[in-house]
Amino acid sequence: MSVSHDVAAIGNAIVDVIAPAEDAFLAANDLVKGSMMLIDEARAHDLYGRMGQAIEASGGSAGNTVAGVASFGGRAAYVGKVSADQLGEVFQHDTRALGVHFETPMLAGGPATGRCLINVTPDGERTMCTFLGASVELTAADVSASVIEGAAIVYLEGYLFDPPGARRAFAKAAGLARAAGRTIAITLSDAFVVERHRAALLEFIETEVDLVFANEIELKSLFQTDDFDAATRAIRGRAGVAAITRGEKGSIVLTDTECVAVDAEPVAKVLDTTGAGDQYAAGFMLGLARGRPFEVCARLGGLAAAEVISHYGPRPAVSLAELAAAHGLF
């Protein structure tokens, strides 16, 4: 089958609700800075009531990544579940407005569209509380074989290990992608996700995955070590390619035989780190799908991450294709 998309991604379809907050607010609400915590609808209602004035923007980790791929001029497809409500319409609109193929049917009569309450502290760090809502209703039936088989890279969110139905969708997509000879990529998503699903994630990586995205904390959590070098040795034996992001220290790309380190792109002022990892994955995969060497892939990822943390919101505010061209990367 010919390749119709550079990247097809499956994820929890979520609308972000982003508000500035002081560190004291996190403490008063038992929130662990920089983490993602799952909350139920009652807690979401309660926490929202205590948050400041917010803006809403379509998010979801993999949703942000396909937005980044599209902004680079890549062809992207997305699979994820929203409800047939106003926030679901917002998510569907924003995803399609970028030219992303997105045909997952909206859920009728179930939970509302999922949302992620994001408190951004003055240092730009984001702390997320997610009410998964309709996104947990994603099923294997929503995974279209033609979309998966027609994508150069199939990208899966670690967050999908939380909802059981989504996990079956995840497994189906991986099976289809493997049979079609496609590259399978996964992001570990969050250290708490890794803690909740460590064994299953490790097994999945060893048996199915070609490309792993993780940040330093997630990687260390995966191998239950505080020693970054030990964690990098451990992942090299298990994943074909691992792209590890290290915040202001840049990123490194590891294979059995290679180790490529790339500096972070300078940022004048970090306003909101939401989406940094998602955009890194977008740039990296677009580079990979276009056959660029790992160093260029990592630089494209770093460029997209730097753009998104310099403003509020999880998706690019400018054309990443133009930005990459200006940096001589396209």
Q: How far is the CB of 118 from a second copy (least distance, A)?
A: 13
Whichever of 55 and 179 has its CB closer to a second copy, that residue is 55
Whichever of 92 and 251 has its CB closer to a second copy, that residue is 92
Q: How far is the CB of 75 from a second copy (least distance, A)?
A: 17
Whichever of 15 and 177 has its CB closer to a second copy, that residue is 15
CB 66 within 8 A of CB 101: no
Q: How far is the CB of 67 from a second copy (least distance, A)?
A: 7
Q: How far is the CB of 286 from a second copy (least distance, A)?
A: 18
**Which residues of the shown chain bind a second copy in the complex (CB under 8 A)?**
19-20, 48-49, 51-58, 67, 85-87, 90, 93-94, 97-98, 112-113, 313, 315, 317
Picking from 314, 288, 9, 8, the residue whose alpha carbon sits closest to that of residue 157 is: 9
Q: Is residue 131 classed exposed, middle or buried when 0-12, 13-18 and 19+ CB atoms within 10 A define those classes?
A: buried
Picking from 103, 110, 126, the residue whose alpha carbon sits closest to that of residue 31 is: 126
Whichever of 124 and 175 has its CB closer to a second copy, that residue is 124
Whichever of 85 and 208 has its CB closer to a second copy, that residue is 85
The percent of the chain in helix, strand and coil, each rounded to the nearest 5, is 45, 20, 35
Q: How many CA atoms lie within 13 A of 36 on its CB side?
A: 24
Strand partners, 104: none
Q: How many CB atoms lie within 10 A of CB 283?
A: 31
Q: Cα-Cα-Cα-Cα dihedral of 261, 265, 271, 273, to 10°?
A: -30
Whichever of 51 and 243 has its CB closer to a second copy, that residue is 51
Q: How far is the CB of 323 from a second copy (least distance, A)?
A: 15
Whichever of 90 and 106 has its CB closer to a second copy, that residue is 90
Residue 271 C-alpha from the chain's centroid: 19
Kindly state the tokens that stand for 144.
Answer: 């279209």
Q: What are the start-end ranges of the H helices in the chain? A: 23-28, 41-50, 61-71, 86-97, 145-149, 164-179, 191-196, 198-208, 216-222, 228-236, 276-289, 294-309, 320-326
Q: How far is the CB of 252 from a second copy (least distance, A)?
A: 31
Task: Tell me the three-class secondary structure of 103-124, residue by residue.
Answer: CCCCECCCCCCEEEEEEECCCC
Whichever of 236 and 311 has its CB closer to a second copy, that residue is 311
Looking at this protein, which amino acid is placed at residue 190?
D
Strand partners, 261: 252
